[in-house]
Amino acid sequence: MQIRRLLDKIDEDQLFIPAFQREYVWKRQDVRSLFNSLLKEYPTGNLLTWETNNPPELKGNKVYEKSWGSIKLILDGQQRITSLYLIIRGEIPPYYEEKDITQNTRGLHVNLSNLELKYSPKAKMENNSFWVNLTEIFKGKIDPFDFVEKLESDDVELDKEERRQIQKNFRKVENILDFDFKEQTIPIKASIREAIDIFYRVNSSGIKLTEAELALAQISGYWADARKVFKAKQFEMRENGITLSLDFFVYCLLGVLHNSGSGMEKLHHEDNKDDLIHVWNKLAKKTLDYTFNLLKSQAFVDSVKEIKSIYGLIPLIVYIYSKDNRLREVEIKKLIQWFYYSQLKGRYSRGQTNLDKDIDIIINSKNPFDELLSILKAEKGLDISPDFFRGTTINHPLFSILRWYFKSKNAVCLNTGVQLRENLGSKYSLELDHIFPYSVMRENGYSQENRYNYSLVQEVTNRAILTQIENRIKGAEYPATYLKSVQKNHPNAIALQCIPEEPSLWELDNFESFLEFRRSLLSTKINSWLQNITKMEPVLSKPSPLELISDGESETLEFKSTLRYDLKTHSYNKQVEFACLKTIAAFNNSSGGTLMIGVDDEGNALGLDNDYALMEVDRDGFELHLYNLMNKNFGVNYTKSLPNRNISVSFPKIGNQEICVVEVKSSKKVLIIEHISKNGIKTEKLFIRTGNQTVQIEKLNEINTFLKDRSKES
């Protein structure tokens, strides 16, 4: 079938691409190679087509209607046809949308003097009038005679042979439209499954498609919407800054559904359909989002580009899925520690080699990440020695570990103070800067001519992370000058990126000493960080009121049945009120403590109803009265709202009974209470806690001793 006829059939809805085929993945060099072969009339492969009246789902927005009768599908050759359409028509083919084309291969130029092919940026740089956009020729926007006239008007001298050669080359370009692809066909009676099987065999015999792509084609045979729903999730995640391939999704399905990292043929069979759809729905709606949010928030991974071995995420996703997307803190810490070490040690650098056994451990071990870590330790060791940094470039996973470590410590761009996370605007995107600029070091014996010296300049220890705008400003500034200004403007920035702070090491003559020092510094910091990720900080949980009551009265806990209501006389009793105040004062003068009002000596919750009724108030009125009492007896400054206030009042419920809990801190200020006896005699009293009792210090010498000791403590 001629190329011009192929493209016409696509435009006329007579030729379609089945949805189970992968997306357009060719790069510019592939397209240039195709057109170079066409110009030289080299073989370019065959087309495999299938004419059917029972097609599978079609790519694009086309939905088959029975009234169409038989239609023709391209089973093999889609990459070539899409490339031809992009260059010849200059547009996206109807079976794709703009967002589907991640590789923009349009803009191929031809030199009409010699048929050399280049893409526009290089062609324009040539400043050569012979370069023409191929699309403009195919669209008839350029005529060979007009082209020659324009060259001559631009003072390009052409002899007769050169004019003839241009016209000849022009015709060669146009003749591409008449190139005839040999066509192989699948019988019209073939079923969808048979067509997919043929597609699978054709592609599996070479290296055109990955195993995951072929598996997805098979899945599409029994689940027509598979590619569509995968792409929908892919676009959704891409909009959130997470770029994943459809292959990755297929490996997730294989890992979760079959607890395996290899053997894609396990997904080929239709028996998978119901379980596969169920697993995918949970992955798409919960697990994938949870995993990448976890990596971003807890592991400081801002972009998939930072992950050197993307397959290393498959065991994590299998684990998270098995835990129903609910991980405890210790599980998260162990998962992240394994993620870091597996990346650092290249556990999955050879693709899926270790996936099978690692997923098996994830599924069957009680402590999977401990077991995986012990295996890695036995195989490669976990420590990072200073020598590990020697000659290691930014392409090594070690640099990703450094990046994540810096972010975990809230490191900043050296002279802007902007954190090393995803920032707004391209000017604040992050770049990797040479601390000792290569252009400077090249002139000092560290050029590519000396491979060892060159490797030192490119080593990760000679790199800092800067925002784009700062990197442009810094340029090739000498480190001694630049780092001195950083030290002045952002004193902590240098240390946060583990850059030596000794100014003498910033001198050009001390470059290799700088590297040695930073290797040692980074080795110590990174090892400590990785080893301690799983360390759980002790958390002293505050006991509940019920737990406090069950422990009974102590040196730091006392119960009072009421604030001012006398349970015997059923009336107000000033001495009851005073008993609460002296307990608060005693806690203040000792080690602090908690007063519970509305709880009797036996630990029974009586509630506050008697006090509420006596004072004709609700909870707010009760609290106001309590604060007024304390302000009157202890002073306003003692109870006012401050970050380190001495008093905290709350009203929890024990069963149906509301009680008042007064938490008292030990204070530097000694509280002495004025007491009025029944006879009206005023005296000042000092109370402290001894055991579970509030006692008064009465003797003057004991009071003086207490006050003296108290002043020493403060």
Whether 78 and 163 map to the same domain: the answer is yes
Distance in angstroms (rounded) separating the CA atoms of residues 352 and 373: 18
Question: Is 102:67 a contact under the CB 8 Å cutoff?
Answer: no
- The two three-digit tokens of residue 22, written as one number: 């992968």
Total domains, the chain: 4
Whether 216 and 362 map to the same domain: the answer is yes
Question: Is 281 a member of any domain?
Answer: yes
Question: Is 259:314 a contact under the CB 8 Å cutoff?
Answer: no
Give the confidence band of 174 by pLDDT, cuts at 50, 70, 90.
very high
**Lowest mean pLDDT across 59-68, 230-239, 306-315, 322-331:** 59-68
Question: Is 200 a member of any domain?
Answer: no
Whether 408 and 475 map to the same domain: the answer is yes
For the chain, the farthest-separated pair of C-alpha atoms sits apart, in whole angstroms, at 134
Distance in angstroms (rounded) separating the CA atoms of residues 63 and 40: 39
DSSP 598: T
Question: Is 199 a member of any domain?
Answer: no
Q: Where are the alpha helices (DSSP H) in 552-635?
A: 574-589, 609-615, 619-634
**Which residues neighbour 29 within 8 Å (Cβ) at sequence distance 6 or greater?**
none
Q: How far lies 698's CA from each of 226, 565, 577, 687, in Å?
A: 86, 28, 21, 9
Give the confidence band of 713 by pLDDT, cuts at 50, 70, 90.
low
Looking at residue 200, what is its pLDDT? 65
Question: Is 193 a member of any domain?
Answer: no
pLDDT(209) > 70: no
Distance in angstroms (rounded) separating the CA atoms of residues 608 and 619: 9
**Lowest mean pLDDT across 63-72, 108-117, 250-259, 611-620:** 63-72
Question: Is 191 a member of any domain?
Answer: no
Whether 27 and 174 map to the same domain: the answer is yes
73-77, 216-220, 554-558, 664-668: which has the highest mean pLDDT? 554-558
Looking at residue 155, what is its pLDDT? 73
**Which residues neighbour 374 within 8 Å (Cβ) at sequence distance 6 or greater?**
none
Query: Which residues in 351-493 belong to E strands, given as ranges?
Result: 430-434, 463-467
Give pLDDT tens digits for 470-529.
878 888 889 999 999 999 999 899 999 999 999 999 999 999 999 999 999 999 999 999
Kindly state the average pLDDT of the residues 566-589: 94
Residue-number span of the structural domain to which 21 is assigned: 3-183
Looking at residue 190, what is its pLDDT? 79
Question: Is 268:330 a contact under the CB 8 Å cutoff?
Answer: no
Question: Is 31:105 a contact under the CB 8 Å cutoff?
Answer: yes
Give pLDDT tens digits for 622-657.
999 999 999 898 887 777 654 457 889 999 999 889
Final residue of a structural domain among 531, 557, 573: 531
The residue among 455, 420, 415 whose CA lies nearest residue 438 is 455
pLDDT(7) > 90: yes
Phi, psi of 159 (to 5 degrees): -90, 180
CATH of the domain at 682: 3.30.950.30
Whether 95 and 55 map to the same domain: the answer is yes
Give pLDDT tens digits for 112-162.
889 999 997 654 555 677 888 999 999 999 888 888 878 877 777 778 888
Whether 378 and 394 map to the same domain: the answer is no
Looking at residue 707, what is its pLDDT? 84
Question: Is 194:19 a contact under the CB 8 Å cutoff?
Answer: no
SS3 5: helix
Looking at residue 296, what is its pLDDT? 93
pLDDT(351) > 80: no
Give pLDDT tens digits for 282-322.
999 999 999 999 999 999 999 999 999 999 999 999 999 99
Looking at residue 207, what is its pLDDT? 40
- The two three-digit tokens of residue 575, written as one number: 């001495």
State the average pLDDT for the chain: 89
Question: Is 48:77 a contact under the CB 8 Å cutoff?
Answer: yes
Residue 606: exposure state from Cβ atoms within 10 A (0-12, 13-18, ≥19)? buried
Q: Where are the alpha helices (DSSP H) in 446-544?
A: 451-457, 468-474, 479-489, 493-496, 511-531
Looking at residue 206, what is its pLDDT? 43
Distance in angstroms (rounded) separating the CA atoms of residues 56 and 225: 10
Whether 332 and 266 map to the same domain: the answer is yes
The residue among 584, 549, 545 whose CA lies nearest residue 563 is 584
Give pLDDT tens digits for 352-377.
778 999 999 999 999 999 999 999 99
Looking at residue 283, what is its pLDDT? 97
**Which residues neighbour 565 within 8 Å (Cβ) at sequence distance 6 or greater?**
571, 572, 573, 576, 610, 611, 614
Distance in angstroms (rounded) separating the CA atoms of residues 296 and 239: 15
pLDDT(199) > 80: no
Q: Which helix (H) or strand (E) holds 361?
A: helix 355-364
Whether 606 and 699 map to the same domain: the answer is yes
Looking at residue 205, what is its pLDDT? 47
Phi, psi of 416 (to 5 degrees): -115, -20
Whether 118 and 143 map to the same domain: the answer is yes
Whether 33 and 58 map to the same domain: the answer is yes
Looking at residue 208, what is its pLDDT? 56
pLDDT(198) > 80: no
pLDDT(593) > 60: yes
The residue among 47, 35, 102 whose CA lies nearest residue 73 is 47
Question: Is 282 a member of any domain?
Answer: yes
**Lowest mean pLDDT across 241-255, 380-394, 428-442, 569-583:** 428-442
Distance in angstroms (rounded) separating the CA atoms of residues 714 and 711: 5
Final residue of a structural domain among 354, 382, 410: 382
Q: How far lies 657's CA from each of 187, 568, 579, 605, in Å?
A: 83, 20, 22, 6
Whether 495 and 410 map to the same domain: the answer is yes
Question: Is 454 a member of any domain?
Answer: yes
Q: For residues 208-218, b (16+ Cβ closer than 10 Å) or e, as one string?
A: ebbbbbbbbbb
Distance in angstroms (rounded) separating the CA atoms of residues 86 and 73: 19
Question: Is 36 a member of any domain?
Answer: yes
Q: Which amino acid is at 355?
A: L
| More confident site: 645 or 583 | 583
Final residue of a structural domain among 382, 399, 428: 382
Looking at residue 37, what is its pLDDT? 94
Q: Terminal CA-to-CA distance of the chain, rounded, Å? A: 96
Question: Is 75:202 a contact under the CB 8 Å cutoff?
Answer: yes
Whether 594 and 514 map to the same domain: the answer is no
